[in-house]
Amino acid sequence: MIISFEPIGIIHTPFQAKEGMPIQSKGAEAVKAEVVVNEEFAEGLADLDGFSHIILIYHFHQSEGFRLKVKPFLDNVERGVFSTRAPKRPNAIGFSVVKLLRIEKNRLFIENADMLDGTPLLDIKPYVPAFDLYEVEKSGWTENKTGSLNKRKSDKRFD
């Protein structure tokens, strides 16, 4: 089975290189960016401005190949790739929950951007707390490692 996706737009951020980027959108507070949705999809943005946060699904376009065991940014121990959010994955798909500031025609102005400039956008979904927010019982190896996300930045481990 072959599955292919065509980008619906492009994400423009201040990050030209992977090194030094925030590792999650929660750690990218106040980082502003612009999402340009292709004109033919602009009509699909109707009613999106009623949401304060959206989910961007995108392609890790600078990521090549993958490893099934990786050392994630929050740890120095190898972990199974599916227990991480590492960019080197069998399908190089990423997602971020970002704050939607405003929409102007086919342009979305967002905050909390944690992706590279030029990232191809695959989809947009509204963030709905009633659907997306869960009380969790456990958070695996990340327990007690997620504090100070603003200070944690991307490095060369996934080059």
Rounded mean pLDDT, 49-53: 98
Q: Are 55 and 127 in contact (CB under 8 A)?
A: yes
Give residue for tokens 């009633």.
130
Q: What is the pLDDT of residues 59-103, one digit of tens each?
A: 999 888 999 998 887 788 999 999 988 888 999 999 999 999 999
pTM, to two decimals: 0.86
CATH of domain 9-158: 2.40.30.70
What is the torsional sign of CA 123, 36, 103, 27?
positive
The whole-angstrom separation of Cα 45 and Cα 23 is 27
**152 pLDDT tier (thresholds 50, 70, 90):** low
The dihedrals phi and psi of 98, each to the nearest 5 degrees, come to -125, 160
Distance from chain centroid for Cα 20: 15
Rounded mean pLDDT, 20-32: 79
Question: What is the per-residue pLDDT for 159?
Answer: 62
- The tokens for 39 are 């004109």
Q: What is the pLDDT of residues 91-128, one digit of tens each?
A: 999 999 999 999 999 999 999 999 999 999 999 999 99
Question: What is the per-residue pLDDT for 155?
Answer: 64
Q: Is 9 exposed, middle or buried (0-12, 13-18, 19+ CB in 10 A)?
A: buried
**47 pLDDT tier (thresholds 50, 70, 90):** very high
Question: What is the per-residue pLDDT for 76?
Answer: 85
Question: What is the per-residue pLDDT for 105?
Answer: 97
What SS3 class is residue 97?
strand
